[in-house]
Amino acid sequence: MGIAITCFAFILLVQHCIIINAKSVPKFPAILIFGDSTVDTGNNNYISTIFQGNHRPYGENFPGRIPTGRFSDGKLVPDFLASMLGIKEYIPPFLQPDLSNHDLLTGVNFASAGSGYDDLTTTATKVIPMSDQIKYFEQYIQKLQLIIGEEKAQKLISGALVVVSAGTNDFIFNFYDIPTRRHQYNITGYQDFLQSLLQNFVEDLYNLGVRNMLVAGLPPVGCLPIQITAKSPFLRKCIKEENFDAQSYNVKLATLLKQIQDALLGSNILYSDSYHPFMHMINHPKKYGFLKTRRGCCGSGTYEAGPFCNKHRPVCKNASEYLFWDSIHPGESAYQHLSNMAMKKLRHHKLSHSKIH
């Protein structure tokens, strides 16, 4: 299952929602998304996998109460960001067969729930690995060139905001719960292995013309309800070891991204801290309107996600009081808070196509 918490890679540690001053909002011609269920708006609907969110009760609070494939009760951070940036209201999945020229020109989504940087992550899930998301991006560029020509397509890509949100699945599927990679690496070695793959991914994007990137760090993996259920079912406490690993990974990633930016002329690569903001929401839930932070709204909230969160499972009366929608993914209310915070980061760093050299 794509681990939605990497979406918290878009946020800073702040205590209040931010009122956006339209005059200071950075301008991008398009927004492009890569990653896992943090940001997948429905690509998994069009591939053969059980990791899908295109059934009730997913979409319970989406306009029209439609289950779109988003692993939430409503919108995701990419949707909110696209709207707040004045680009469009929703970001469609690239695999959607009826995309219009306007859809393509303003940005699409290549993410796949259950994906990761390590191709081994997708072996069992049969979802779209990050390496194949790059291939779809190449197809997307070709489509742009047919619509507006090569020169304008290149300008659009260089000015677009690109969000990369992945990594948690790699640790869940390959190191903690299914310890396949433990036979090859200790935690430090696996962190370095993943970050070498992440670096290759960022460089591939750059070589295809991308210049503005937000790259996600890891959230507190040990605070996912499903991880708590597996390892602290009675006390329901966050798993300290997994959270410590996430923090050390993030420290190394922040340094690495600075080095990558220095090496890639004209690139603007932001590292987004996900760990501390998310812990702030857990430790101070009332500031965000939450009453429950360690179980989801769907069913018991302890294990239901994807196919196990279905129309036969009851849901809570008020999803906005729950940080999580299911045992893995946040609800729309949480995504709204996180999107406001993301905008503050974009404004603070003034990341926009106007900076391209």
* Closest to 225 in 3D by CA, of 242, 238, 241, 243: 238
Backbone angles phi, psi at 163, to 5 degrees: -110, 130
Location of structure tokens 């260089």:
158
- Does the active-site annotation cover 37? yes
Q: Which of 37, 165, 267, 272 is catalytic?
A: 37
With CA atoms as reference, report the closest residue to 199 among 257, 250, 269: 257
Nearest 5°: phi and psi at 315? Answer: -120, 160
Query: How far is it, in rounded angstroms, from Cα 163 to Cα 110?
Result: 10
326 assigned to active site? yes
* CA-based radius of gyration for the chain: 19
72 is a catalytic site residue: no
| Residue of 40, 170, 245, 326 marked active site | 326
193/278 Cα distance (integer angstroms)? 25
CA 134 to chain CA centroid, nearest Å? 16
Of 232, 277, 208, nearest in space to 17 by CA: 277
323: DSSP letter: E
Tokens of 187: 């935690």
First to last CA, the chain: 39
Give the closest residue to 114 by CA, choosing from 59, 168, 194, 57. Answer: 168
Helix or strand or coil: residue 339?
A: helix
Between CA 199 and CA 260 the distance in angstroms is 7
Widest CA span of the chain, in angstroms? 59
3 state SS of 57:
coil
**Position 108: which residue type?**
V
Burial of 310: CB neighbours in 10 Å, binned 0-12, 13-18, 19+:
middle
Three-state SS for 145-178 is HHHHCHHHHHHHHHHCEEEEECCHHHHHHHHHCC
Per the residue annotation, which of 73, 273, 274, 329 is the catalytic one? 329
Which residues are part of the catalytic machinery? 37, 326, 329
